[in-house]
Structure 1
Amino acid sequence: MYGDEGLLDGIGTWRKPDVTFDAHAEVDLGTIVPGHGPIGDGHQAIDWLIRYLERLRDDVRSLHAAGHSMLDTVRRCPSPFADGLEADLLAALDQYEGDTDDISKSYLTLCRDLHRLNVLATYLTLT
């Protein structure tokens, strides 16, 4: 994480989420404005997020069950951002003012860092 794996040593507990969605959640959305990234179709964004979190949970559980350490799990857990950003996300980022190549690279870095944090948080729920 940002080149300082020692940061992980100080994490002992994680705050539980205020709201939990599952596959049966009914949400009437038109447009979503995320905390990170471009505005987009609400249903598409929520569907992608649920699929991502379910896959993340399954991957982390498998690695944990196989006896991998927390840091090894962070390194081994597949990232949906390993090959870059999806084409529709890149197109949305192209709408931003400024150097769109720099914006896309920065957003990719953010997504990869947040994925590692998600792996870490998920792993800690299993210990």
Structure 2
Amino acid sequence: MKVSKQEAEFQRLANRTRFADTRQLVRFTVQRLAAHIPHQQILQAISHQDFPGRSPQLQDDIFFLNLRSKLILQMYDDRGLDLIGPDVETIQPLYQNYNDWILDYDRAAIDTLFATEPLLKPNQD
């Protein structure tokens, strides 16, 4: 994927995560239509990170943000990914369709989240 200087944004940030191996974080952002992002190759490269000799490889954290649906996807390795949404209703269809993909150690917490009644919104008097 070739990116021009005009469409790329770089930021240097302090790395304050508990997993910080470095003191500085470089954020690279590019806005593209999903059809123009080689997501299959990127996900394959992430899945290869724990397997020396396999290529392509990526060792960095990659987040896919869908601005329209407000969903965030982050594949962390060949075992899984995190999907974050703005509310339970947005990710409910994904929970129903891909329930068997939920990892056992996450299942109880995720099932509890979707088993509860819709969250009550504060009184807006």
Structure with bigger strand share is 2
* Structure of larger gyration radius: 2
TM-score, scaled to structure 1? 0.24
